[in-house]
Amino acid sequence: MINQIKQQQADNVNDSCADCGSFVDIGAVVEAQDTLLELSFIGDDALARASALKLAAEQRFPGTKASIHHTADQCALTLDFAFSVEKMIFQLENAL
């Protein structure tokens, strides 16, 4: 059964435990307090990319607390979602 499920999955799906190699239920490894997402951007457009993702997160999930720390050609975006599921959804929707 597990082999059949694995064959039907996309190549970029990996639902086995990286530490032990065992097949795991995704819900078993998601922690309720895992709400913080930290992203780094480098380059001339770092601030623009960070700002665009900040706005997208705030519009999609209004309870999100966001901040950008900008230095020269690097930006650090910190997003603190109200719930861990919001973080996961945002990462999936934005291919992060």
pLDDT at 10 exceeding the cut of 70: no
| Strand pairing category for 74-80 and 65-71 | antiparallel
Question: What is the largest distance, in Å, between two alpha-carbon atoms of the chain?
Answer: 53
Residue 5, both tokens: 């499920």
Q: What is the pLDDT of residues 19-60, one digit of tens each?
A: 555 555 555 566 788 899 999 999 989 999 999 999 999 999
Residue 20 bridge partners (DSSP): none
Residues 96, 87: Cα–Cα separation, whole Å: 10
Pairing status of strand 65-71 against strand 36-42: unpaired
pTM: 0.69
Structure token pair of residue 6: 């694995």
